[in-house]
Amino acid sequence: VLVFLITLGIGLIYFLFPELMVNILYGAEYLPAASYLVFFAIFLGLYSFSFLFTNFFLSIRKTKIVILPVLAAIAQIVLISIFHQDLIQIIRVSIGVLFLLFVSLLFYNFAT
């Protein structure tokens, strides 16, 4: 629940005040990247949940779970090497791969 609340809070701040956050965190020269901040928050949220699930399974000795993040990493590398015309394509590939990883982890949770 804590990870969800933190992710939701940061995502809302990034959604409501992207220019302000980029200006505070990185400076005015990076303001063109403000439009990507919401997508980055989605990516980080999916990453956080996937990382949490993976570590939970590892802590209860379900070590076969490590296959899913490894496959996701390989898929991300392959897809980014194919789809890299602009930054938003790379972000979308990363979000898609992490979404599939998260859904796979949920299925694994209910299947075992």
Residue-range domain boundaries for the chain: 2-111
pLDDT of residue 109 exceeding 90, the answer is yes
- Closest residue by Cα to residue 77 from 101, 54, 93, 100: 93
Amino acid 1: pLDDT: 85
Give the predicted TM-score (pTM) of the model.
Answer: 0.89
Q: Provide mean pLDDT across the span 43-69.
A: 96
Residue 94 pLDDT level (bands cut at 50, 70, 90): very high
- Closest residue by Cα to residue 54 from 69, 39, 43, 44: 69
